[in-house]
Structure 1
Amino acid sequence: MKVTQAGQHDVVVDVVCDVCGISTRNADAELQYGSMHASWGKGSAHCGEEYEIHLCENCFFAQVAEMKRTRWLAVMFDS
């Protein structure tokens, strides 16, 4: 989740991980995060819906590992 400061132009002041809820600022006060985005189109059960998920480094790579594991389990008995 992006945390913004209202003003003439909204300014992103922090990005909080949507999984664990911690700030994604590193020791140098720089934002370090990954994001996953989905935009569903015609024919989808979720047509017109958009999603953006912000993740800290640990949660991002945990999600990537889980996706790889899910894929591996799906094909492990294929010839």
Structure 2
Amino acid sequence: MLVNDKGDSESANDVMCDACLLSTKTSKGVSQYGTMQANWSAGAKHEGERYELRLCEKCFFVALLALRQQRRVEHLFSEDAALMNSDESFGRVRPED
């Protein structure tokens, strides 16, 4: 949720986490957040629906943990053990610098 001093979302001074509703500003005054988004197109169960969530660091990693757990459960009896060993990099696009 983007918020400015007047409370509207046109020009953002802060980004509030959509999950916990807390500010994403760090001690240095910079907003740090991750996004989760979807735009469902033709043929999808939720066709035409759009979603965008801004999540603070804590809530982002809680959501990521839940998705990792869901993947583990879905493939619990899978013969592909590599799925279980790739949890730490799950979703990461670029390794740490």
Q: Give, in whole Å, the separation in 2 of the partners of 1:18 and 1:44.
A: 24
Aligned to 2:51: 51
Aligned to 2:95: none
- TM-superposed CA distance for 1:45, in Å, is 2.3
Q: With structure 1 as the length reference, what TM-score do the two structures score? A: 0.87
- TM-superposed CA distance for 1:5, in Å, is 6.0
Aligned to 1:75: 75
Q: Which amino acid aligns with 1:35?
A: T
Q: Give, in whole Å, the separation in 2 of the partners of 1:45 and 1:29.
A: 40
Q: With structure 2 as the length reference, what TM-score do the two structures score? A: 0.72
Count of equivalent residues: 76
Q: Which amino acid aligns with 2:59?
A: C
Listed as ranges, the gaps of 5+ residues in structure 2 are: 80-97
Aligned to 2:60: 60
| Identity across matched positions, percent | 38
Q: Give, in whole Å, the separation in 2 of the partners of 1:69 and 1:57.
A: 18
Aligned to 1:16: 16
The answer to which structure has the higher strand fraction is 1
Two-structure CA RMSD over aligned residues (Å)? 1.5
Q: Give, in whole Å, the separation in 1 of the partners of 2:40 and 2:74.
A: 24
TM superposition outliers: structure 1 runs of 4+ over 2 Å: none
Q: Secondary structure at the match of 2:14?
A: strand
Q: Give, in whole Å, the separation in 2 of the partners of 1:52 and 1:4.
A: 19
Higher relative contact order (CA 8 A, sep 6+): 1
Q: 1:39 to 1:4 in 2, by over 3 A?
A: farther
